[in-house]
C-alpha cells in the first residue's frame, strides 16, 4: 500500500448511504461499463443495449450534467443504430465504432484516453508500473481473481468495473458485510478515483462517436455517485497526463 494512505474510519461506514443502494442495479451498470470499456464493440452487444433500452433505463442518480448529457448521447446513438439496415451500411457503422474504440483505448499508436491507471499516476507514464503492483497486492490480499481474455495490466479501467460487478453481486446478499464495503471504499479512494475521472475526461474530449462520448460521461457520473454513496475522497495524487 502507498505510504500516504488515508485511513477510513468506522464512523464513515455508519453514516453512509449504503443501505439505500440497489446493488442489483449497480451490478448491472458495472457489468455494462466493463463490457463497453474492456474490448472492441460487436454488433450483438450494441443490439442488446438498444433492445434493453439501456439509455432510457439508466438511473438519473443526482441529476448531474454528465448523467443527462450522457444518457441523451447514448440514447440518440442507439436510436439510430438498426439491425434492419443493409449489410454494407451496418458493417460501416460497426467499423466506425471500432475505430473510435481503438483510438481511445487500444491503438495502434498511443491511445488518446489510455485506460491503465499507472500511465496517469507514475511520472514515467509506463504500463505495469508501481501503482499496478500496489493494486495487484491489494487484490491478492483480498482474494480477488480476474478472468482475463488475454494477458493485460490489471489496472485497466474496464477491469475495475469487473471487480465492482463481482463485489456488488456479493453485497446483494451480504449488505452488512463491512469488509466488502471497506474493500470498495479503499479500491475507489486509492486505486481508481485518483485517475479514472481524467481518463473519462479524455475519452469524452477525443471520442468521435456519440456512443463513446455518452459512455465516458455515464462512467464519470457513476464514479461520482459511488464516491458519494461510499463517502470517500480520492487520494490527491499528481497526474502525469
The pLDDT tens digits of the residues spanning 32-43 come to 999 999 999 999
Average pLDDT of span 44-50? 96
Q: How many domains does the chain have?
A: 1
CA distance 204 to 184: 25
Query: pLDDT tier at 5 (50, 70, 90 boundaries)?
Result: very low
Is-contact 135 155, C-beta < 8 A? yes
Q: Domain containing 193 — which CATH number?
A: 1.10.3480.10
For residue 203, what are the domain limits? Answer: 15-229
What's the start-to-end Cα distance of the chain, in Å? 23
Q: Three-state SS for 178?
A: helix
CA distance 60 to 225: 10
The predicted model scores a pTM of 0.92
- Report yes or no on 8 lying in a domain: no
- Report yes or no on 203 lying in a domain: yes
CB atoms within 10 A of CB 176: 9
- Report yes or no on 236 lying in a domain: no
CA distance 74 to 92: 19
Amino acid at each position: 500500500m502507498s505510504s500516504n494512505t488515508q485511513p477510513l474510519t468506522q464512523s464513515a461506514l455508519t453514516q453512509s448511504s449504503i443501505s439505500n443502494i440497489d446493488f442489483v442495479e449497480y451490478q448491472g451498470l458495472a457489468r455494462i461499463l466493463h463490457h463497453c470499456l474492456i474490448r472492441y464493440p460487436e454488433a450483438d452487444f450494441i443490439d442488446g443495449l438498444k433492445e434493453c433500452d439501456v439509455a432510457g433505463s439508466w438511473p438519473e442518480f443526482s441529476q448531474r450534467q454528465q448523467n443527462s448529457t450522457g444518457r441523451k448521447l447514448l440514447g440518440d446513438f442507439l436510436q439510430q443504430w438498426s439491425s434492419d439496415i443493409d449489410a454494407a451500411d451496418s458493417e460501416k457503422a460497426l467499423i466506425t465504432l471500432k475505430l473510435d474504440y481503438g483510438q481511445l483505448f487500444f491503438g495502434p499508436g498511443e491511445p488518446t484516453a489510455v485506460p491503465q491507471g499507472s500511465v496517469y499516476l507514475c511520472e514515467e507514464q509506463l504500463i505495469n508500473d508501481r501503482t499496478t503492483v500496489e493494486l495487484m497486492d491489494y487484490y491478492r490480499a483480498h482474494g480477488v481473481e480476474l478472468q482475463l481474455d488475454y494477458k493485460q495490466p490489471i489496472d485497466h479501467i474496464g477491469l475495475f468495473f469487473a471487480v465492482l460487478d463481482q463485489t456488488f453481486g456479493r453485497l446483494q446478499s451480504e449488505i452488512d458485510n463491512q469488509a466488502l464495503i471497506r474493500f470498495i471504499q479503499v479500491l475507489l479512494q486509492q486505486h481508481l478515483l485518483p485517475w479514472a475521472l481524467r481518463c473519462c475526461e479524455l475519452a469524452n474530449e477525443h471520442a468521435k462517436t456519440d456512443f463513446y462520448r455518452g459512455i465516458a460521461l455515464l462512467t464519470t457520473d457513476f464514479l461520482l455517485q459511488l464516491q458519494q454513496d461510499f463517502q470517500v475522497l480520492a487520494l490527491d495524487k499528481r497526474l502525469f497526463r
